[in-house]
Amino acid sequence: MKTPRKVLRRLRGRRGQSMVSYAVITAAILGGLTTMGMVILPQMLDALDRFTASMYFCINMPLP
């Protein structure tokens, strides 16, 4: 039968490994989101600029 000390030591090692894998997965997800944000954000800002420009054009149109 294993002593409680050996069991606790093994559990601590597993907990550390799962924490490292969690940190790696989280960093990969955040890196991917940051990269996608750099690609999508300028397009979203350009679309917002076009939308506001068209709204100002419609507001300032002379009505007959």
- Condensed to tens digits (0 to 9), the pLDDT of residues 7-39 reads 667 766 666 778 889 999 999 999 988 888 888
**Full-model pTM:** 0.48
Q: What is the pLDDT of residue 1?
A: 57
Per-residue pLDDT, 51: 97
35 vs 52 pLDDT, higher one: 52
What whole-number distance in Å separates Cα of residue 45 and Cα of residue 55? 15
Q: Is 61 helix (H, G, I), strand (E, B) or coil?
A: coil
Calpha distance 25→21 (Å, rounded): 6
**Domain assignments of the chain as residue spans, ordered by start:** 1-64
Whole-number pLDDT of residue 12: 66
Distances (CA, A) of 44 to 11, 14, 55, 61: 47, 43, 17, 26
Question: What does the alpha-carbon distance between residue 34 and residue 41 come to, in Å, rounded to a whole number?
Answer: 10
**Model confidence at 45: pLDDT above 80:** yes
